[in-house]
């Protein structure tokens, strides 16, 4: 496969390098990723500033293109300018930290995969359910298995998959679950602090999910399953759209 590899943790992030190393022997992998971490920028794009591209080496060998933009910018500029349209897949990750539930909306990792779909290519986002110095080996290996499985999957539809791998030893992983995205709210808080000059500032942190349904990404991941959730970017609510048809708005 010809794969565009990107992420939101930045081009030198361990998760991206692990994915590259796991795939580069069997696939043609093109790296176009943000030059610095752009986690939680969602589907943002850069329009008020120019995008600048730098060629990046790893171990003295050309590795890929670093972009001073967002993950969605990376996918757009990769396909329109840097590597051209002839790819089979946009792969994003491996993100440091899970992208499940409502957090999927904030995720730059997921948005890069979604951007692939918008441009006409299948997209896969891969995230690891651990933030503190995780080891990406198993998640990268699983991604390579997933790509092998895709070879036999013929679909008319251009799919976007959100994959989350629990941070557990391989033998403790319970299996793979195809699940829906949780929409239960997060318990969030703002920590109020004082800086050295006496000014108050706030640090936003999400505490935990309120979800309890085992058939959701949030709970299945927590229970030790690899979760796979197909996503689409059409935000229309068909249900409400039907109801609106009977509305009478006078003007
Ligand atoms: Mn990230």
Using 50 as the pLDDT threshold, list the residues of the chain that sit under it: none
Contact criterion met (CB below 8 Å) for 214 and 227: no
Q: What is the pLDDT of residue 205?
A: 86
Q: How far apart are CA 243 and CA 93, in angstroms?
A: 39
Report CA(40)–ligand 1 centroid distance (Å): 7
How many alpha carbons lie under 13 Å from residue 128 in its C-beta half-sphere?
A: 30
Q: What is the pLDDT of residue 153?
A: 78
Report CA(28)–ligand 1 centroid distance (Å): 24
Report CA(95)–ligand 1 centroid distance (Å): 5
Report CA(198)–ligand 1 centroid distance (Å): 31
Q: What is the pLDDT of residue 124?
A: 98
Give the DSSP H or E segment for 2: strand 2-6
Report CA(15)–ligand 1 centroid distance (Å): 10
- Domains annotated for the chain, with CATH where assigned, are 2-183+212-235 (3.40.1210.10)
Q: Give the rounded distance of the alpha carbon of 120 from its chain centre.
A: 17
Check residue 172 and report its DSSP letter.
G
Report CA(26)–ligand 1 centroid distance (Å): 26
Strand order of the sheet with strand 28-34?
A: 53-58, 61-67, 28-34, 2-6, 89-96, 123-128, 160-165, 225-231, 175-178
Q: What is the pLDDT of residue 78?
A: 98
Check residue 216 and report its DSSP letter.
B
Report CA(132)–ligand 1 centroid distance (Å): 12
Q: What is the pLDDT of residue 88?
A: 94
Q: How far apart are CA 101 and CA 222, in angstroms?
A: 12
């Amino acid at each position: 496969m010809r794969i565009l590899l990107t992420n939101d943790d930045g081009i030198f992030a361990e998760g991206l390098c692990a994915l590259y190393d796991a795939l580069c022997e069997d696939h043609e992998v093109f790296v176009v990723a943000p030059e610095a971490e752009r986690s939680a920028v969602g589907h943002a794009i850069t329009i008020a500033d120019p995008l600048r591209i730098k060629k990046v080496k790893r171990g003295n060998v050309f590795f890929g293109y670093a972009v001073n933009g967002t993950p969605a910018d990376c996918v757009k500029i990769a396909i329109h300018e840097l590597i051209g349209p002839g790819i089979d897949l946009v792969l994003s990750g491996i993100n440091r930290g899970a992208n499940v539930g409502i957090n999927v909306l904030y995720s730059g990792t997921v948005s890069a995969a979604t951007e692939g779909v918008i441009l006409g290519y299948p997209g896969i986002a891969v995230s690891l359910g651990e933030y503190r110095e995780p080891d990406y080996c198993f998640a990268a290996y699983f991604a390579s298995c997933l790509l092998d499985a895709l070879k036999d999957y013929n679909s008319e539809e251009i799919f976007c998959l959100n994959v989350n791998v629990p941070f557990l030893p391989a033998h403790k992983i319970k299996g793979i679950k195809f699940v829906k995205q949780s929409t239960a709210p997060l318990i969030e808080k703002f920590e109020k602090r004082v800086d050295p000059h006496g000014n108050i500032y706030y640090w936003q942190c999400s505490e935990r999910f309120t979800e309890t349904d085992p058939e959701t990404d949030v709970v299945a991941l927590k229970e030790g399953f690899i979760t796979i959730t197909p996503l689409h970017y059409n935000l229309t609510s068909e249900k409400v759209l039907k109801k609106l048809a009977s509305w009478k708005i006078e003007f």
